[in-house]
Structure 1
Amino acid sequence: MTIGSAGEHTWRYRMWQHLCTAYGGPFTLVGPREALHDPSADAPTSYAYADPDFPRAHLAGWGEGWHHMTPLIGDAVRSCRPDVLLVSLGLIDLGFYTNAEQTAGNVRAFVAEARAARPRVRIAVMPVIRNIRVEADTSFADQVARFNELLGKTVADLDAPRSPLLLVPPPRSYDFHTDTYDGTHPNETGEHKIAAAFAEALWQEWELGGPYGAA
């Protein structure tokens, strides 16, 4: 949902557009990766962005979640020196790797690793966005609801003045029937709604950027 697939803009691009309008000054996206997922190769080997003219660095992977990113985040933060982490993870974890409690444990480890690498880093975390599987798999739907509950408690527990954590409200009116192209991955409207959720939270809680779409 964050890395995007060949030919897409991605919500990262929508966020960059928003920040360009809101700031008009120096900022950039950082991360050790730049590629999109290439469906034909089933690998992150594509650079065919719908609009490649933006700082497209990121740390995201097709089929990667907290389970995969927790061992990587420390080195990524040390090398790329981000001031703010925008994190949207968990759907793949709950679907294939870890239950709600284990996933929440990985959130704690992720935050600890990021702070060890950059003690004043800010972290904005989005709850798991429901996808089409919740309609057919009630146990999965229950795990998503349980994890989002635990995530809220975890963010509250770990929030600190020196390195604040922010729980981002889920995208307004997001509907996987209309805001994705396959029940999971965002289409254009979904990209805008995810970017808007992050942007509004950063503006309202930390006074970073501005209202989404104000221009």
Structure 2
Amino acid sequence: MRKRRFLLAALLAVVAVVAVAPVVHAAATVRIMALGDSITAGPGCWRAKLWHSLQTTGHTDVDFVGTQSDGGGCNPGYSYDFDHEGHGGFSATGIAANNQLPPWLTAARPDVVLMHLGTNDMWGGYIPLSDKLTAFTKLVGQMRAQNPAMKIIVAQIIPMSAAACATCPADVAAFNRAPPSWAAGLSTSQSPIVLADLWTGYDAVADNVDGVHPNDNGFRKMADAWYPVLAGVLGGTTTPPSTPPTTDPTSPPPTGACTAVYRVTSQWSGGFQGEVTVSNGSSAASTGWTATFTYANGQTVGQAWNATVSQSGATVTARNVDWNGRLAAGATASFGFLATSTGVNPNPTVTCTLSTS
């Protein structure tokens, strides 16, 4: 009898434990689609490195998806998910114009899209920036039509070298300045658009094999730039990160009649890209402006845009072009240029003057 009572008590205890044990639900897998061109597709080894970073930091509930597969061609020495939506030679404007994205989305059913697009829109410099942004907007609309809660991470794309395409460095810089305001106007709480800065700190010569496509170091830089933004989105953080000055320059507050700020926007072995922003700090509109600076280490300016630039010895003089000389009080204008350097490249002090008649 005592043994029967003991067995009954033990059985009731087991039932009680089962009754109060919490129900454990498996974490939902997040489907991530890498959308891009050959930088994503072939071999696109930033995807392998990004996958590895996610897996080794506890983000094991992810699935890279897409209609394409690299078949493990990156051979990084560890396993990774091969699936992606990279298409060599494709452009953002072309994908949008031909409505190629919707069937890819239907097949892949992503929750998150990583979009590194725009490189093939730069060749020749003939596609206006407004057309590129219109294409981006259409693609976002198609993503949301497939999934109203789509999380969208848009890259400020890696730079291209002047050796690969003479007009491309300036076009990429201009393109990368546009996403912050574009994303702010289109992002929603249900379907946020977050930026990933893949441009800053990336060397168009040293980190690419041909001035366009990454080498292994370039792929590592790409993965390292994607990771914190994607990890934040996976963790529920969808506030766009602050954009560094290299991709979203903020003009200095005007003080005095004319001020100018010089900055290097990209640098590689033997050369760099620079930009100068001129500000009208007076109370009257200008009819023109001139900016002057002097190099100390043998730098030589070559190609320039948005100003007429000449160099005499070490001194560089830039004058406005017809359409950007008139600056209202407090307004700014910027010009850019490509230059050679010997390795030592400190920023010179820029002086500027305004014409008012």
Is TM (by shorter chain) over 0.5? yes
Q: Which residue of 2 aligns with 1:117?
A: 146
Query: Is 1:190 equivalent to 2:190 in the alignment?
Result: no
Percentage of pairs with the same residue: 26
After TM superposition, give the deviation of residue 207 of structure 1 in Å: 2.9
Are residues 116 and 134 of structure 1, via their aligned partners in 2, closer, same or farther at CA, if it must alter by over 3 Å? farther
Q: Which residue of 1 aligns with 2:45?
A: 10
Structure 1 residues not aligned, in runs of 5+? 36-46, 210-215
Runs of 4+ in 1 over 4 A off after TM superposition: none
Q: Give, in whole Å, the separation in 1 of the partners of 2:60 and 2:153.
A: 21
**The 10-residue stretch of structure 1 (177-186 or 141-150) with the greater mean CA deviation from structure 2:** 141-150
Q: Which residue of 2 aligns with 1:126?
A: 155
Q: Give, in whole Å, the separation in 2 of the partners of 1:193 and 1:140.
A: 20
Alignment check: 8 A CA contact 2:68 2:85 kept: yes
Q: Give, in whole Å, the separation in 2 of the partners of 1:23 and 1:208.
A: 15
Q: 1:41-190 alignment to 2 at 5 Å?
A: 47=71, 49-51=73-75, 53-70=79-96, 71-95=99-123, 98-133=127-162, 137=166, 139-190=167-218
After TM superposition, give the deviation of residue 116 of structure 1 in Å: 0.5
After TM superposition, give the deviation of residue 171 of structure 1 in Å: 4.9
Alignment check: 8 A CA contact 2:180 2:195 kept: yes
CA RMSD of aligned residues (A): 2.4
Higher RCO, 1 vs 2 (CA within 8 Å, ≥6 residues apart): 1
Are residues 88 and 112 of structure 1, via their aligned partners in 2, closer, same or farther at CA, if it must alter by over 3 Å? same
Q: Give, in whole Å, the separation in 2 of the partners of 1:201 and 1:54.
A: 19
After TM superposition, give the deviation of residue 67 of structure 1 in Å: 2.1
Structure in which a larger fraction of residues adopt helix? 1
**The 10-residue stretch of structure 1 (60-69 or 161-170) with the greater mean CA deviation from structure 2:** 60-69
Q: Which residue of 2 aligns with 1:199?
A: 227
Q: Give, in whole Å, the separation in 2 of the partners of 1:32 and 1:136.
A: 30
Q: Which residue of 1 aligns with 2:328?
A: none
Alignment check: 8 A CA contact 1:134 1:140 kept: no
Report the 3-state secondary structure (helix = DSSP H, G, I; strand = E; otherwise coil) of the residue aligned with 1:133: coil
Alignment check: 8 A CA contact 2:153 2:194 kept: yes
Q: Give, in whole Å, the separation in 1 of the partners of 2:136 and 2:204.
A: 25
Q: Which residue of 1 aligns with 2:321?
A: none
Q: Give, in whole Å, the separation in 2 of the partners of 1:3 and 1:54.
A: 15
Q: Give, in whole Å, the separation in 2 of the partners of 1:194 and 1:24.
A: 18
After TM superposition, give the deviation of residue 132 of structure 1 in Å: 1.1
Query: Is 1:30 equivalent to 2:65 in the alignment?
Result: yes
Alignment check: 8 A CA contact 1:171 1:196 kept: no
1:39-61 superposed Cα distances (whole Å, 9 cap, x missing partner): xxxxxxxx460328432111111
**The 10-residue stretch of structure 1 (83-92 or 72-81) with the greater mean CA deviation from structure 2:** 72-81
Structure 2 residues not aligned, in runs of 5+? 1-38, 238-357
Match of 2:194, as an amino acid?
Answer: L
After TM superposition, give the deviation of residue 205 of structure 1 in Å: 5.8
Q: Which residue of 1 aligns with 2:304?
A: none
Report the 3-state secondary structure (helix = DSSP H, G, I; strand = E; otherwise coil) of the residue aligned with 1:87: strand
Are residues 142 and 50 of structure 1, via their aligned partners in 2, closer, same or farther at CA, if it must alter by over 3 Å? closer
